[in-house]
Amino acid sequence: MDGPDIITADDSNFEFQVLEYSELLPVVVDFWAKWCLDCQRISETLESLAVQYAGRFRLAQVDVDNNPRLTTGYQVHTVPTLKTYENGTVTGQLEGVHTNLQIEEYIKGFVPGPEGLLLEKAASYLRDRQFISAEETCLEILEEIPDNPTARLLLAKSLLWQREYLEALTILHHFPASREFRAAEKLAPLAEHLQAASSLESSGNPLDAIYTRAGPDRE
């Protein structure tokens, strides 16, 4: 199955179709063999992912039996073997038999899904203090991926700046296990203070105002 995102690579075109092309996009090289049943399954999975991630990476398929120079030169000792090339060098490798899910996770490691750009957009809105736009962008992501931790953290921050303290606390108190968990854990006490201060400010008690001013700054 050849096309713009899926090609057959060999000794004659590897330098151009893989090494040079990897200056533009990541190229995943699938070293396979016709006699390898697991190779056929993994190749089909990779082809499906190349279609799914259209334009985000190129899949190059190399038949090891027909290309011994490439196989030896790139130290392919078993099939299937996947090697990822970026800017002309190998930046990732996966050897042996793996499940379809493991293959997909490998691809996701260097080819972000469509939510990647949206996350950058939300973070940019937050930096520019466009908090409503940041919130809307995060909700767009979470509609497709409800447990995306980065989107949830950005959403909580945008809500805090909009004084939507209870909504922010709900997110922070039910945060999924992830690399962002500690950041959410640290943010929760601030959100709790802001919620308490907001309630006290509306009470009209002058002592409450003193308590409010004594709290940490959101900056």
Q: Which has more confidence, 218 or 39?
A: 39
Q: Which has more confidence, 110 or 190?
A: 190
**Omega before 80 cis (within 30°)?**
yes
CB proximity list for 84: less than 8 A, separation 6 or greater: 26, 27, 28, 29, 90, 91, 92, 93, 110
What tens digit of pLDDT does each residue of 6-20 get?
999 999 999 999 999
Residue (of 88, 14, 2) closest to 43 by Cα position: 2
Q: What are phi and psi of 138, to 5 degrees?
A: -65, -40
Q: Where are the beta strands (DSSP E) in the chain?
A: 6-8, 27-32, 58-63, 81-86, 89-95
- Give CA–CA dist 131/72, Å, rounded: 54
If you average pLDDT over every residue of the chain, what do you get?
Answer: 88
Domains of the chain: 6-108 (3.40.30.10), 118-213 (1.25.40)
- Evaluated on CA atoms 81, 86, 92, 97, the torsion sign reads negative
What tens digit of pLDDT does each residue of 131-181 get?
999 999 999 999 988 888 999 999 999 999 999 999 999 999 999 888 789
Residue (of 115, 121, 113, 119) closest to 56 by Cα position: 113
3-state helix, strand, coil in the chain (%, to 5): 55, 15, 35
Which are the catalytic amino acids? 36, 39
In 10 A of CB 197, how many CB atoms?
19
Per-residue confidence (pLDDT) for residue 1, from 0 to 100: 59
In 10 A of CB 114, how many CB atoms?
11
pTM: 0.57
